[in-house]
A and B are shown apart, each in its own frame.
Chain A
Amino acid sequence: MSCLTDKFDRLRATYPPEMNSSLVLPLLHLMLREKGHLTESDAIFIADYLGVPAMQVKEALTWYTMLHRKPVGKHVIKVCRNIACSLMGAERIIDYLKQKLGIEAGETTPDGRFTLLLVECLASCGTAPAMQVSDTYHENLDEARIDHILKELS
């Protein structure tokens, strides 16, 4: 964990010292990037590092939807299902992805490469339908574009 605490220290230095508690979410994000998903012991590790109550970090971990608490695939596909994307065919896109990956939403492909998640508005309403693969936005989706994106990832 020592390389992790080095990263923690660097992040901590960017916040005013009296705002120690504010680092909970940034550190959870950092740890998530390192580990893929987070468990109670990760939360306690952060709580101990910051000197804040464990409950605060544990509750935050279960509350924010971006923080995965179960293992996810190498590529996490997050498809928007909100209003603008729905009006532009999100359901079609989601069905296509499910069929193409052979999994339901919330599942990970058996080879551990893809996790398919449905998310709420990604602020891509003007370029709907949209999805995110890991961090990257993909917009104005149609079946052909999805084929292309998935192929690029292979």
Chain B
Amino acid sequence: MVKLTIDGKNVTVAAGATILEAAATVGIKIPTLCWLQKVSPTGACRVCAVEVEGVDRPMTACNTPVKEGINVTTQSEKLTEIRRKLLELLLVNHPLDCPVCDAGGECDLQDSCFGLGASRQEYSALLEKRPIRYDWKLLESDPNRCILCEKCVKVDHEIVGADAIEVVNRGEATIIDTHDGAPLNCEFCGNCIAACPTGTLISKPFKFRGRPWTFNITKSVCAFCSAGCQIEYHARDGRVERVTSEDDTYNSGNLCINGRFGYSAFNAPERLIIPTVNGAETDWESAVSTAANRLKGIVTAHGPDAAAAIASPRLTNEENFLFQKLMRVAIGTNNIDSEARFGYAPAQALLAKNIGLYGASNPIDRIDTAAAILVFGCDLNAESTAVEYRVIKAATKNDAKLVVANMRDVKLTKYNHGRLKYRPGSEALLVNGLIRAILDAGVEDREFIAKYVSNLDALKESLAGISLSQVAEATGVPEKDIIESARLIAGKSSLAIIFGADAMRSTVSADCIAALGNLALVTGCLGKEAGGLFPIDEKNNAQGMLDMGVAPDSLPGYHAGNAAAVFETAWGAKLPAAPGKDLWQIVEGIEQGSIKALYIAGSDPLAAFPNNRRIRKAFDKLEFLLVQDSFPTESAKMANVVFPASLAPEKSGTFTTLDHRVQCLGKAVNAPGLAREDWDIFAELYGKLAPASVITGPEQILTEIKALSNLYGGECSVVKGRCQGAGKRGFALKEGLSFVPVSAKSADGGDYQLLVGPILYHNGTISGWSANNLTVAPEGYIAIAADDAGRLGIAEGAAIRVTSSAGSMTGPARISKALQKGLLFAPHHFRGLNSNALLEGSANLVTVKVEKG
């Protein structure tokens, strides 16, 4: 610890702290302009100049480390004069167009000048006008307003890792721009806009929408991916006009394109605003009565199991809870499932069985401090950008060793220390190879294994049949890379294992997830302060939805059938005795005619689900299809009754992140037209089906969830103005775990395999209605490896036709260096391309035929 004096106050801080940080500990605020806590100090603006006794030059507090015994003065006439002069120098080049500047009212330069009384453009001479970059998408840059604090560049480089903008040129010619003035080509996260202290970088869709103080600001939680970034909705006249995030949030103010710009989906002109029955617009009373009568009729005629439901990870916990209760109690069937069936739910069930883990084992901020990180089968950039930021931070600022296992090159590969580019279908074998290499090197966590796991010998025995050379042969990863990666991740003080869709929806997913569980135990990555095991889902409330019992075989809180009595008592009704059908069984049931009525809320199976031509055919056989959604989806177009529903900023309730943080939504605007909150619609239908019930709102439902789930509890707690809604029991490591037997299976595809998955610029299908996202990524494409394209004579942008046993699609080719030979990739967000139709089942990979389109 270092002792020093600041403005006469004694301060003790850790060695290495800056004078600015030391001052903050005793409540002394030193003015800053270019300083931003979350990036490295720049020291460019010099506004934080302070005097240190015995040093003749003023020192910059933001980047000068403390020294034992120094005496610092932060306020003096001399310093005020220096600061004022600096601001005047900044102002000489500043256009003072505050009346038409979007940052007016939230401009650090304006505030600083006001604070220091700098109001003159003392050196006024001719201003050189620099061209404003109107040609960028979503962002606009006016370099005339720039004070070169470099915050935007540092955020872009250090946090996002996009390297899209840079400090160009030298001296007075210095500007922040793209290289050679090319149009901005970046992740369009807009984090640079948030960092900009002036109106240099502004949001185009927000430009001239209004002065910052004229909006109603509502704290809420992002409704796109499962990381649950904390945001603010800025709304006026019933519209969300922008989304921001403060630097003191859990996500440090960092968002992705979906978080910052995806809001335009909420304002989409296509929004459903009126209920329909058989395509005709009607009022709620008639729509709900029609639905209730049709459902009752089918149940009466064919029994409750003739009805089924598909819920959604977009719905709140309360809505999902109510939906499954409606199906189980008011209809009387366990036939409820969701898209989590394709990967997240079975993976969760496996890890729950093997390790007792439902979701992540630690909060995601423990990734920041992990000593090593393995990102397995996951394009974090697309699946959860917020988690990717944490990995970048860990790898670049906290010296974490990063191993990226992915069949494609992804953004994170530029940071990796170890790289495992495996053949599709060899995921499980690769994990087992890693385990083998760890055990061979003797770098397993022996202490952890001795305490928590009983059968290391059995694992060794079952691995005996798998040699590293065999793994290398089948996975295409050189043996030395497997050994090197094993050394990088094992034997460290902590390890984060992050896995995503390519693991959970692999063609060998069960073996892969089981092997990842083994890997977690071998490396002892569970139950530690840092690191952990982190399954990633693309959609915001996948975890909460499963917590709420949206699955045919589990009640809220993962209670199985034998806990039914508790629920029966509470709900005053018998729970259905027959086991429910999961998603694919529901589809089969419809095909076979045993399921005649289907209720879908917040999902579009005909666009967002795999093998959806099969599903479309099945839907043709339905007697009654009820769709509750916010957009005219493919499924809604086929529905007998459509209920218009609200989106995240229009509702109350809670979402649960992948790492068990329960956060309240803030209702920022009312739903458009006659659209209603999903819980409200469920409640009304519930009332029609079971007249005794009275449901008053999300709070009442949350109380019930807390009472019954044995998972959620506690009072609503408010931290920094953000409501947590409930606490949730996290993962507790228990002794007596076992390794599961190892499989050496590796799936082999044909010459060409198509991977279907998300891309950065979209999230699910909602962003497909967002004009902002569509500005950047308007349409689907089919990425193909350069070698393959050459062989097939396919040029960039030319039409390419890809066919599987389930369907085919034609789209523009994009030649990619990230893909290995024989692998194609198509984003799954686009209704037009409908790449999901080619998938044969839950797996995100399918053998295909490729030809010129």
Contacts and interface: CB of A to CB of B under 8 A. Distances in A.
A65 interface: yes
B537 to A, nearest CB: 30
Interface stretch (B167-175, B352-360, B464-472, B561-569): B167-175
A8 B153 CA distance: 29
Contact of B163 (A55, A63, A65, A69): A55
Given A43-B179, A55-B157, A69-B180, A62 B169 contact: yes
A58 B169 contact: no
Interface in B336-360: none
Given A53-B157, A53-B163, A54-B163, A59 B168 contact: yes
A53 B168 CA distance: 15
Contact of B179 (A53, A58, A65): A58
B179 A63 contact: no
A56 B491 CA distance: 33
B180 A55 contact: no
A62 B168 contact: yes
A63 B180 contact: no
A40 B182 contact: yes
A17 to B, nearest CB: 16
A39 interface: yes
A51 B227 CA distance: 30
Contact of A63 (B153, B157, B170): B170
A4 B497 CA distance: 39
Interface string B152-171: 01000100000100111110
Contact of B180 (A39, A53, A65): A39
Interface string B527-570: 00000000000000000000000000000000000000000000
Contacts of B182: 40
A40 B179 contact: yes
Nearest to A65: B170
Interface in A18-65: 39-40, 43, 53-55, 58-59, 61-63, 65
Contacts of A54: 163
Interface in A86-125: none
Chain B at the A interface: SS class: mixed
Interface residues of A, number: 13
Nearest to B171: A63
Contacts of B168: 59, 62
A55 B170 contact: no
A59 B180 contact: no
A65 B169 CA distance: 9
Contacts of A65: 170
Interface in B176-212: 179-180, 182
A91 B157 CA distance: 43
A39 B153 CA distance: 20
Contacts of A59: 166-168
Nearest to A62: B168
A62 B179 contact: yes
A64 B170 CA distance: 8
Contacts of B166: 55, 58-59, 62
Interface string B793-826: 0000000000000000000000000000000000
A61 B168 CA distance: 9
A54 B182 CA distance: 15
Nearest to A59: B166
B268 to A, nearest CB: 35
Contacts of B169: 62-63
Contacts of A39: 180
B344 to A, nearest CB: 34
B163 A40 contact: no
Contacts of B179: 40, 43, 58, 61-62
B180 A40 contact: yes
A32 to B, nearest CB: 16
Q: Which of A40, A55, A63, A69 has the largest number of chain B CB atoms within 10 A?
A: A55
B254 to A, nearest CB: 18
A55 B157 CA distance: 8
A122 to B, nearest CB: 18
A65 B168 CA distance: 12
Contacts of A55: 153, 157, 163, 166
Q: Which of A40, A62, A69 has the largest number of chain B CB atoms within 10 A?
A: A62
Nearest to B169: A62
Nearest to A55: B163
A150 to B, nearest CB: 31
B484 to A, nearest CB: 16
A78 to B, nearest CB: 17
Contacts of B170: 62-63, 65
A58 to B, nearest CB: 5
A121 to B, nearest CB: 16
Nearest to B179: A40
Interface in A69-83: 69
A114 B15 CA distance: 57
A42 to B, nearest CB: 11
Q: Which of B153, B163, B167, B182 has the largest number of chain A CB atoms within 10 A?
A: B163
A34 B30 CA distance: 50
A62 B170 CA distance: 8
A62 B364 CA distance: 38
Interface in B84-118: none
A61 B182 CA distance: 15
Q: Which of B168, B170, B180, B182 has the largest number of chain A CB atoms within 10 A?
A: B180
Contacts of B180: 39-40, 69
A84 B7 CA distance: 49
A134 B170 CA distance: 23
Interface string A119-141: 00000000000000000000000
Contacts of A63: 167, 169-170
A53 B170 CA distance: 20
A61 B177 CA distance: 14
A61 B170 CA distance: 11
A14 to B, nearest CB: 26
10 contacts: A53-B157, A55-B166, A58-B163, A58-B179, A59-B167, A62-B179, A63-B169, A63-B170, A65-B170, A69-B180
The 3 closest A-B pairs by CB, nearest first: A55-B163, A40-B179, A62-B168
Interface of A: 39-40, 43, 53-55, 58-59, 61-63, 65, 69
Given A40-B180, A69-B180, 6 more contacts: A43-B179, A53-B163, A55-B166, A58-B166, A62-B169, A65-B170
Interface of B: 153, 157, 163, 166-170, 179-180, 182
